[in-house]
Structure 1
């Protein structure tokens, strides 16, 4: 029978070997990390309870001052068989690669995730971050690759 120390050593070694495989090679990983740092900076400064627009303006300011290209309230056209059938408005798009969908609600719901996925489907962007300035800050990262579009 293996003793506890040996079992711990085996598990630790497996984790060390495989952890980099799971934690690396994410699409736009460094950009995502930078955006999340700004998200938490804004949340820590403002806290919970403001309107979504206040958080959007604060994120815009922080992202711009960190050297990112930032577009707010970007119109996203939706097409059906090459006919424009409507549009969405994305809260923020960073460096033309990542869509930020902001929420200022108590907690995220499944419909919020589907909203972000639809934004990704309708654009060339493949990564989206759902950022909630709720009682506790939370985020969800979604990827929808262009070859599926």
Structure 2
């Protein structure tokens, strides 16, 4: 994930919209033969009830790894809470929060593990 993200960052640079990085990262995964889906709809379940609504995950890699993309000046706690909630609600173990609006991409790359 990090290498593909760095490749996109080097090619496109900082300061673009999140959607630009999403489309470019999807193409980079395709070029590398990595299966990924973007804007994955996840059913909203509350207390066992399907509320007939969905929320979306930016990118789901190999049906297991959640990527939440940002292009913001500062990653806030709510952004971290968002990826943690996605992991919990989908029973996934690994997720990455990637902020492309940084001088060096590794500064905007965070790994999250769901402890279940």
Of residues 82, 85, 104 in structure 1, which corresponds to 2:48? 82
Q: Which residue of 1 aligns with 2:110?
A: 140
**1:53 Cα offset (Å):** 0.6
SS of 2:90's equivalent in the other structure is coil
Relative contact order (alpha carbons < 8 A, sep ≥ 6): 1 or 2 greater?
2
Of residues 49, 53, 67 in structure 1, which corresponds to 2:33? 67
| Distance (Å, rounded) in 2 between the aligned partners of 1:135 and 1:68 | 25
Count of residue correspondences: 112
Q: Where does structure 1 differ by over 3 angstroms across 4 or more consecutive aligned residues?
A: none
| Structure number with larger C-alpha Rg | 1
Higher strand share: 2
TM-score, with length taken from structure 1: 0.71
TM-score, with length taken from structure 2: 0.90
Q: Structure 2: give runs of 5+ residues left out of the alignment.
A: none
Q: Structure 1: give runs of 5+ residues left out of the alignment.
A: 1-34
